[in-house]
Amino acid sequence: MRIESIECYPLSIPGHPYCGGHDTRKNAGQYGSYIESQHYRALYTMEAQTLLVKITTDDGIVGWGETQAAIVPQIIAQLVDELIAPGLIGEDPHDYAVLRDRCYDRMRDRGHDGGHFCDALALCDIALYDIVGKALGKPVHKLLGGAYSQEIPCYVSGVPAVSVAEQADHIREWQQKGFNRFKISLGYGVKQDIAHMEGLRKELGDDPVYLIDQHWCYNLNDSIRIGRAFERLDIALMECPMDSENVAQYSELCAALDLPISLGEEFRTRFRFKERIEANALDIAQPDIGRLGITEGMRVITLCNAASIPCAPHVGSGLAPYAAASLQVAAATENLFLLEYQPTQITVADEYFTPSICPRDGSFHLTDLPGLGVEPIMEKIEAHRMA
């Protein structure tokens, strides 16, 4: 079996905004083709943008991959075409780790150890696992050593609202569906963030489990102040309170708080995680399989296992191959904390891929379908392919 062709599908699907957990009523205005937030630095999109790759073998097996590409997916597609595909055509997809590393090494000395080049690597790596799983008639988690559980606990990510009362109403609706773990996007100021979570506790009591995303908004002193308040409120995790480059300050923050500190969604290699593990600069790792790929993602998880650090795979903007790959990896993760569930993204994923991967009663559920276990509805995919 050899890789015969590689085809990219940059997509833009209108009517499905992804704004990193904040409410679209808090948008600050247009930035070229994208949106700025009133509070967060990152750009967001009012459409579901992503990049899929279709890799076909000479015996007709098709594998699908996806990277997290809510911004300029067409640029990543060009990198696949020009820098990744020539290293894969004619090769055996069973050699996925070797192929990934050889492609990485071709640009490593030029400083491409992150960013869009690694995103291009990740989606092709995911597609190769899909191929191998289909060739063997096994789900990807079987290729990774098996599943520690058939039910993968998750948390609802975002719960966008413009007030505590409105957000509490949304949380009650989720609780009626069997979900009780929620990530709340804050970063509005020290007093505002503390008051917001005090308000939610007052509205809903001690039962809901809260994870807080701070979107890299604070310095060390303010992060400690907020963290100590969140400890009193029994918050389960505080994500990315400071710029992730500040390794030494994250070490100080982790030492100062009992509240677990998480980060990692922006890292594309195990080396970024290794630096922080060695510096005691994170308590829970958040590898993003859409940015790492499955090969490198499992290497990160192995590092974390050796250091007794739980993993909570990050899942952002994307469709079914990205979410399904994250689910397969989460199932094979020994020290799993939780998996992220993006309701708006899973909703659109279920429109364009089959079968549904939507979680039930607070958990994702594995199947025995081969590969990633999802297939595109091609006429719908083609309708939103970017030129």
Q: Which pLDDT belongs to residue 42?
A: 84
Q: Which pLDDT belongs to residue 244?
A: 93
Q: Which of 192, 198, 251 has its CA nearest to residue 217?
A: 192
Contact at 8 Å (CB) between 2 and 90? yes
Pair (103, 31) in one structural domain? yes
Domain total for the chain? 2
Pair (268, 182) in one structural domain? yes
Q: Which of 254, 244, 247 has its CA nearest to residue 288?
A: 244
The answer to whether position 380 is within a domain reads no
Q: Which pLDDT belongs to residue 158?
A: 87
Pair (178, 303) in one structural domain? yes
Out of 138, 166, 195, a domain closes at: 138
Pair (239, 273) in one structural domain? yes
Pair (98, 229) in one structural domain? no
Please report, in tens digits, the pLDDT of each residue of the chain (387 residues total).
Answer: 999 999 999 999 998 777 777 777 878 788 888 888 887 888 888 888 999 999 999 999 999 999 999 889 999 999 999 999 999 999 999 999 999 999 999 999 998 999 999 999 999 999 999 999 999 999 999 999 999 999 999 999 989 999 999 999 999 999 999 999 999 999 999 999 999 999 999 999 999 999 999 999 999 999 999 999 999 999 999 999 999 999 999 999 999 999 999 999 999 999 999 999 999 999 999 999 999 999 999 999 999 999 999 999 999 999 999 999 999 999 999 999 999 999 999 999 999 999 999 999 999 999 999 999 999 999 999 999 997
Pair (161, 31) in one structural domain? no
What Rg do the C-alpha atoms of the chain give, in angstroms? 20
* Dihedral Cα 361, 362, 367, 369, nearest 10 deg: 110
Pair (126, 181) in one structural domain? no
Pair (304, 259) in one structural domain? yes
The answer to whether position 382 is within a domain reads no
Out of 117, 138, 159, a domain closes at: 138
CATH number at residue 359: 3.20.20.120
pTM for this predicted structure: 0.96
Pair (172, 307) in one structural domain? yes
The answer to whether position 384 is within a domain reads no
Q: Which pLDDT belongs to residue 38?
A: 82
The answer to whether position 68 is within a domain reads yes
Out of 138, 173, 190, a domain closes at: 138
The answer to whether position 320 is within a domain reads yes
The answer to whether position 381 is within a domain reads no
Range of the domain at 313: 142-372
The answer to whether position 52 is within a domain reads yes
CATH number at residue 81: 3.30.390.10
Pair (117, 239) in one structural domain? no
Pair (14, 68) in one structural domain? yes
Encoding tokens for residue 329?
């990896």
Pair (258, 167) in one structural domain? yes
Q: Which pLDDT belongs to residue 254?
A: 98
Q: Which pLDDT belongs to residue 387?
A: 78
**Which residues, in sequence order, are CB contacts of 332 under 8 Å at separation 6+?**
141, 144, 145, 146, 147, 148, 298, 301
**Which residues, in sequence order, are CB contacts of 190 under 8 Å at separation 6+?**
218, 222, 225, 226
Q: Which pLDDT belongs to residue 284?
A: 98
The answer to whether position 213 is within a domain reads yes
